Amino acid sequence: MIKILFVCTGNICRSPLAEGIIREKFRKNNITGEVDSCGFESFHVGDPPDSRAQEVAGKRGIDLSSHRARLFTVEDFDKFDYIYAMDSSHYDKITRLARNDADMMHVDFMLNVVNPGKNLDVEDPWYHGLKAFEKVYLELDEACDRIVDQIIIGSALK
């Protein structure tokens, strides 16, 4: 069983969207896996996803309402096979918490599954309107498609 973690700032926009998208893709493709998301800022711990994230996902039949924000922990390195950072600041924070090189072997930028080695950021839509959330949804949807394709064909995700 594959275990995937998505990481963003407050765990209310990008990472819960990615979690919801991939859960739905796992369901549709009969993939058994564990999926979670988290963040680095404590001010949203316990909060549901941003209403705009819920609206964008809901339009596509994905319900994010049961999600509650949580913080990234060092134990996440042990629990998850793949840890996807939404941008360079998250990647840097994950790097600082890594105990060794083995921990970092689990970690990559989310958009590297679409653009290998480019380390592109998924822009934070929180400061913008619904259109920004739509753009982020489409980026994450494409990346999640690639992850699922790689799982189905049995190749490594990185």
Residues labelled as active-site residues: 8, 14, 124
Q: Which residues does residue 33 pair with via DSSP β-bridges, in sequence order?
A: 2
Euclidean distance between CA atoms 7 and 94, whole angstroms: 9
Taking the C-alpha atoms of residue 45 and residue 131, their distance in angstroms, rounded to an integer, is: 25
Which element (helix H / strand E) includes 108? strand 107-109
- The position carrying tokens 């990559």 is 108
